[in-house]
Copies of this chain bind each other. A is one copy, B any other.
Amino acid sequence: MPDKEMYALQLQQVEEAIKTVRGKKFNAVYMIACGGSKSTFGPAQYIFDSESDLPAYVLTSNEFNYRKPKQFTPQSLVLTCSHSGNTPETVQATQAAKDMGCVTICLSNKIDSELWQAANHGVYYGWGDYNPAYGKSAMLYRMVFGVLNELSPNERFVRAIKHIDALETLVPKNKDLFAQRAAAWGKEHKREPIIYTMASGEYYPEAYSFAVCLLMEMQWIHSSSIHSGEYFHGPFEITDYDVPFLMFMSRGKTRYLDQRALNFAQKYSDKVTVIDAQEFNLGDIEEDLQSYFAAIIMTPVARQYADSIADHRGHPLSVRRYMWRMEY
């Protein structure tokens, strides 16, 4: 299917999913997935927390499957995500939610996957070179702001939806802005045995997924994501001249937390790198929405840092020793 037709189909999928929430009253939103898919839901949780009275939770799928919270009822809205559409624990969670009578919407790169079958509604997202305005985070934002606007109409949500198309140009622009720095970072860090990531607020999920998916999974480099607000309450004691940190710095409400951690880290480590969302070009996105968008533009910008270290280490991001290669 040509891309343009696919975009139209994707918008229609979102529209149909949003239609189901019309007139409904939910007690909570559960966003359920694993690993990178789980961390994609992080900024959405932040948005629900900031914009809505609806309790919003992100749970790793088997935590949901094995100990369903008491608040999880047929009145819960359930969003799930799996790239391949066949992550067994996410399929199981989705099916359980649908069986419970919940409105259940999945995001996947695979139409008609097991996940897709298990949900009431599926929303497709593109990957790789696909238009970022129809990628994973973009489709999630179309859904989240659409749902918020259905539940409690607000011009702010309408504006947010309108801006999503701009990701088509904003993502490559901001990638370009950091391309040289990303290339240098990979070379400088190729021998590091451990690299810490750090962030706060709606950017913290990127620190988590960069640590667990890009560094640990795809590079076999030891890592841990540190919340900037927690740094001074334990983790900062491992700071030393040769300990590398990669900070995803907020342009939103929690920037102070990052700045404070950064000031300290830079004083005692010679290896602190910052990707500062304040530098991002956000076109005509208004101030009150900028940080939400910067948080998802951070992902493709940061990805370049992973591409670079993979290249310099001769260890492609696609290499695995266990994942997909054996039963587990």
Contacts and interface: CB of A to CB of B under 8 A. Distances in A.
A328 B234 contact: no
Contacts of A233: 34-38, 60, 87, 212-213, 217
Contacts of A63: 200-201, 227, 229, 254, 257
A130 interface: no
Given A34-B229, A66-B254, A217-B235, A328 B264 contact: yes
Interface string A217-254: 11011111111011011111111100000000000111
Interface stretch (A67-75, A180-188, A274-282): A67-75
Interface residues on A, range: 35 or more
A67 B222 contact: no
A38, A60, A256 — most chain B CB neighbours (10 Å): A60
Interface stretch (A9-17, A51-59, A99-107, A298-306): A51-59
17 contacts: A28-B55, A34-B233, A50-B70, A55-B55, A62-B200, A62-B256, A63-B200, A63-B201, A63-B229, A63-B257, A193-B194, A209-B234, A217-B234, A224-B224, A224-B225, A236-B323, A239-B322
Contacts of A213: 233-234
B71 A49 contact: yes
Interface string A299-328: 000000000000000000000111100001
A21 interface: no
Interface of A: 27-28, 34-38, 46, 49-53, 55, 60-63, 66-67, 69-71, 87, 89, 193-194, 200-201, 209, 211-213, 216-218, 220-227, 229-230, 232-240, 252-254, 256-257, 260, 264, 268, 320-323, 328
Kindly list the 4 A-B residue pairs having the minimum CB-CB distance in the complex, ordered from nearest. A35-B233, A224-B224, A212-B234, A55-B55
